[in-house]
Amino acid sequence: MSRILLSPPHMGDIERQMLLDAFDSNWIAPVGPDIDAFEREFAEVVGVPHAAALSSGTAGLHLALRLLGVGPGDEVIVPTLTFIATAAAVTYVGAKPVLLDSELATWNLDPDLLAEELAAAAKRGKLPAAVIAVDLYGQCADYDRIVPLCEEYGVPLIEDAAEALGATYRGRPAGSFGRIGVFSFNGNKIITTSGGGMLVSRDGDLVARARNLASQARMPVVHYQHEEIGYNYRLSNLLAALGRAQLRSLPDRVRRKREIFAFYRGALADVPGIDFMPIDPAGEPTCWLTCILVDPDEHGMDREKLRLHLDDEGIESRPVWKPLHRQPALADARCEAAPVAEHLFARGLCLPSGSSMTPADLGRVVGAIGAVPKWKTC
């Protein structure tokens, strides 16, 4: 039996055809018609007028901070429960991440803690240079509260929507809530270009500047003229063709991810000690990965034992993100207690959620979880 992976790339015939068409056109460069079209089509899907195609989501976060003028001596608020890239980008510009805990309702940046931190920072006389909210596992953060808070203090909001392409909040697409939104097309994300990302904003000048900074900040003259230091962060035209093809099936992919979540929730309802990531009624998540919480006393196994058991059955699963305040690489980042993130890391497990999973695959996963020996009784 083949191994069931967490979220492998899911390609179809259109992907192959559009990639080969781009190849045959000889636009094998970080410029070309598929890049322009991908940016246009993507902007339409996320309901934001401007988009810049990049080599990764991390590059998008780095550029977002550069565009907002964040630099050495600045602080940037980041949730501690996220992938390292969110905070790594802060360190790239010489700023310091301030790590805040999540709320249980969405697993995202806790708006009460954000309010406290902003009030305390205002009192100290030095506000953070930016707030990065993350839409974890494809569920939007509480923007009803986070957006007004950032506006009240005049702190720009960046939305890390790397996992949330196709999600909505109050009917509005994920990625559209900050001054800048960032997406990832890494191999395990909702759509993939093998590696890639997108920066979006309502501010066309900002996005034009992002494209320029992503192309070594080269000025529009024939000789190579550079008035500031940029990066080599543009997406290749070949990969943009792949992205365009993937974007066409985005609604199907998200629908399938939501079906997978609903299937797991139904099938595991009677297994003791298994809970699901809560769904905030204000939004519709992508369900990028279905995440469960394992109560070791009720279930009989802790999260790690269950993960190893699934591994033995040929099923890949992963702990929920290890909080950033527990990462040695960020040991000097400021973080008050983060009991929610600690709790979610201790109990949280991400189940295989690839949009190409078959009913038989899903049956194997729930069978393996349901078939867990209850050694409390043996």
Ligand X SMILES: *Cc1c(COP(=O)(O)O)cnc(C)c1O
Residue of the chain from 63, 85, 141, 292 that contacts ligand X (CB under 6 A): 85
d(CA 278, CA 287): 11
Shortest spacing between CB 203 and ligand X, in angstroms: 21
Nearest approach, Cβ of residue 58 and ligand X (Å): 3
Cβ-contact 165, 190 below 8 angstroms: yes
State whether residue 159 is helix, strand or coil. strand
Contact status: 86 vs ligand X (CB under 6 A)? yes
| Segment near ligand X (CB under 6 A); pick from 81-89, 106-114, 254-262, 311-319 | 81-89
Does 110 participate in binding ligand X (rule CB under 6 A)?
no
Residues 6+ positions from 63 with CB-CB distance below 8 Å:
52, 54, 199, 210, 213, 214, 231, 233
Among 82, 108, 139, 355, binds ligand X (CB under 6 A): 82
Cα-based distances in Å from 40 to 60, 144, 164, 253: 17, 28, 19, 20
Exposed/middle/buried for residue 231 (C-beta within 10 Å: 0-12, 13-18, 19+): middle
Point out which span in 12-20, 50-58, 203-211, 343-351 binds ligand X (CB under 6 A): 50-58
Q: Is 57 in the site for ligand X (CB under 6 A)?
A: yes
Inter-residue contact 341 to 319 (CB < 8 Å) = no
Q: How far is the CB of 74 from ligand X (least distance, A)?
A: 20
Separation between Cα atoms, residue 23 and residue 264, nearest integer Å:
40
Residues in the interface with ligand X (CB under 6 A) total 14
- Interface pattern 130-169 for ligand X (x via CB under 6 A): ----x-------------------------x-xx------
User: CB of 46: closest distance to ligand X in angstroms?
Assistant: 16
Q: How far is the CB of 90 from ligand X (least distance, A)?
A: 12
Distance between CA atoms of 10 and 250, rounded to whole angstroms? 11
Is residue 58 involved in binding ligand X (CB under 6 A)? Answer: yes
Among residues 83, 177, 261, 345, the one that binds ligand X under rule CB under 6 A: 83
Phi, psi of 129 (to 5 degrees): -80, -20
Site for ligand X in 170-199 (CB under 6 A): 184, 186, 197
Minimum distance, C-beta of residue 281 to ligand X, in the bound complex (Å): 23
Using Cβ positions, the residue closest to ligand X within the complex turns out to be 57
List the 157-160 sheet strands across, edge first: 50-54, 197-201, 180-184, 157-160, 130-134, 75-79, 96-100, 334-335
Interface with ligand X (CB under 6 A): 56-58, 82-83, 85-86, 134, 160, 162-163, 184, 186, 197
